Amino acid sequence: MQLDNRTRDNLWTLISTPAVWGVHFLFCYFVAAYVCAPNTRIFEPIGGVRVAIALATLPALAFCAFAGIRATREWRAFRGDLPFDAPTAEDRERFLEFSTMLLAALSFVAIVFTALPALLVQDCR
Amino acid sequence: MRIALADPPMTAILALTRVPGFTGPIEEGQSSGMAGGPIRQGGQHRVSRGTSCSVRLGRSFKASPPLLLATLVLISGCRGPQSTFADAGLEASSVAALFWWMLGGAVLIWFFVIGLSVYATKAHPGAHSDKTGLRLIIWGGCVFPTVVLTILLVFGLQMMPDFRAPANGPRIAISGERFWWRVFYDSPAEPGVARSLPHEGIESANEIWLPVGRRTELLLGSPDVIHSFWVPAIAGKTDTIPGRINRLVVEPTREGLYNGVCAEFCGTAHAQMAFRVRVVSQEDYETYVAAQGQPAAVLDHPGLDAFLANGCGACHTVRGTEADGRVGPDLTHVASRETIGAGILAMNEANLARFISSTEHVKPGVQMPSFGVLPDEEIAAIAAWLGSLQ
């Protein structure tokens, strides 16, 4: 199967989704702590922070979905037997695609879990 | 590629589920070692292909009387004044509900995993295809746990704001000290960073009265080490941290007497740092606090003279007398409490005398020295006087 715009995967594409997860995690915790740490008005709504987290979450999820779908398409196109550990360029490429797909799925779920409190909790409680 | 389902993890699960009555031998199929485990091939670790092992359950699981008896004994501890299942507070009820949901989920997962093992060893004992294995890993190992965790997370997050809703009842400051609890009713304390809890309000110790149906604000501090304030029947635990005042809002829903404990190891007598919580009506609460604010009831007693003569007042306060020490518990209304020694002995004259004469024996690690050197008559007089301080 021939794929258009096929990429060559490397370690950077592999760690891109966990990196996005890490940045998103830090951002969410930083803005929530910045607003809530004074611990004085814990019952007041923090709408601004929740919107900021939503604005950070949507592109982060979109990136993970894009990276995951891309890696899945390329891995599916060429498939091959797991565990892709032969010392060849082809096996390395399959390994990177497969690992990127798994990491993208993990990062997607982790970003959802990080953002869920902001979706469900309306204030600093 | 084939994936052998009876891999070491599965074997481990079966080994863990062995109970008296289970005698099924784990038989190996084609391979000589743990079937499906990594074996060396040409210098590389590879998952063995085409190997599997069959696990045969000899007899079915059989309930053993000792196991049943042990289970019943353990379950009997799930009620009582120190149990989250006592259902005496809003938060404890939610925690108990969460526990039952999680237990239900865990039981379902257990049946699912055991079902898989039975499927893989009895119903379909042969090797499974790559596709089946991958499908099993993705649905059973990824999708299913993710969905379960998401449901639990949403469930837990929805509970949290209610636990921390604003208080509409009294404010009580509680200081965890090695190894007892200092209590101030009507405290002016505020949560946040603070050198210590303000020693203001109506002081008591080791017993806390709460009005039923009101959200009472507890402000928790400590002058020495980290303790943790926990009344399992009413709410979850909250640490008392030196340099901070933490807030815990509790909403008792049922009148009664409950046990509280220190839930963070704090030293030798940590296990004996308990207290009692009495949940009463709003009227009874107000009457009690007003009474606690009064000076000592009995001021003309030989026990008081002995108490002052032996220096007890250097550490203990008895309002209305010269005793104004701040080291140990306020004893102004000590006889009104259920216990002495922070929840370890019932309140009566004999136990008071025992605590005074053999303090370090009754409560190893306590800061108060034993006063066994005093004549028995003096100890008896002090105990009789303290026993009259309602």
Q: What are the chain A neighbours of B44 within 8 Å (beta carbons)?
A: 85
| Domain boundary assignment for chain B | 2-163, 302-386
| B282, B289 Cβ separation under 8 angstroms | no
Q: Please tell me the predicted confidence (pLDDT) of residue B136.
A: 82
Q: Could you tell me which residues are beta bridge partners of residue B259?
A: B276
Q: Which residues of B touch A123 (CB under 8 A)?
A: 161
B182 in the Ramachandran plot: left (φ > 0), alpha (ψ -120 to 50) or beta? beta
| Interface contact flag, B130 A81, Cβ < 8 Å | yes
Q: Which residues of chain B have a CB within 8 Å of the CB of A42?
A: 164
Q: How distant is the Cα of B157 from the closest Cα of chain A, in angstroms?
A: 7
Q: Which residue from B minimizes the CA distance to A82?
A: B1
Neighbours of B73 (CB within 10 A): 9
Interacting residues of B27 by C-beta distance below 8 A, sequence separation 6+ = B53, B54, B55, B56
What is the reported pLDDT for B68? 80
Output DSSP code: residue B327.
S
Here the tokens at position B154 are 């949403």
Percent of residues in chain A assigned helix, strand, coil, to nearest 5 = 70, 0, 25
**pLDDT for res B288:** 96
Cβ B84 vs Cβ B233: under 8 Å: yes
Q: Establish whether the linkage from the previous residue to B170 is cis, with ω within 30° of 0.
A: no
Which range among A21-30, B66-75, B145-154, B209-218 shows the weakest confidence by mean pLDDT?
B66-75
Q: Which of B47, B157, B165 lies at the smallest CB-CB distance from A117?
A: B157
Please state the CATH superfamily assignment of the domain spanning residues B302-386 in this structure: Cupredoxins -  blue copper proteins (2.60.40.420)
User: Mutate which of B130, B151, B153 to disrupt the A interface (most A C-beta within 10 Å)?
Assistant: B153
**More reliable by pLDDT, B86 or B281:** B281
Q: Quick one: what percent of chain B has pLDDT higher than 70?
A: 83
What was the pLDDT predicted at B63?
A: 61
For every residue of B195-222, DSSP letters joined together read: SS----SEEEESEEEEETTS-EEEEEE-
Write down the number of H helices and E strands in chain A. 3, 0
Q: Are strands B216-221 and B244-250 parallel, antiparallel or unpaired?
A: antiparallel
Residue B305, pLDDT above cutoff 60 = yes
Query: Helices marked H in B181-321 — which ranges?
Result: 282-292, 302-309
pLDDT, one tens digit per residue, over B17-70 is 333 333 333 333 333 333 333 333 333 333 333 333 333 444 445 567 788 888
Q: Residue B160 is nearest to which of A83, A109, A121, comparing CB atoms? A: A121
Residue A78: the pLDDT is: 76
A interface with B, Cβ–Cβ < 8 A, is 39-40, 42-43, 81-83, 85, 105, 109, 112-113, 116-117, 120-123, 125
- Look at A5 and B305; give whichever has higher pLDDT: B305
Nearest-CA residue of chain B relative to A117? B157
Contact assessment for residue B240 and residue B174, using Cβ atoms and an 8 Å cutoff:
yes
Q: Which residue has the higher pLDDT, A69 or B196?
A: A69
C-beta atoms of B157 and A121 within 8 A: yes
Question: Mean pLDDT throughout B109-130?
Answer: 86
Contact A120 B149 (CB under 8 A): no
> Reduced to 3 states, what is the DSSP secondary structure of residue B247?
strand
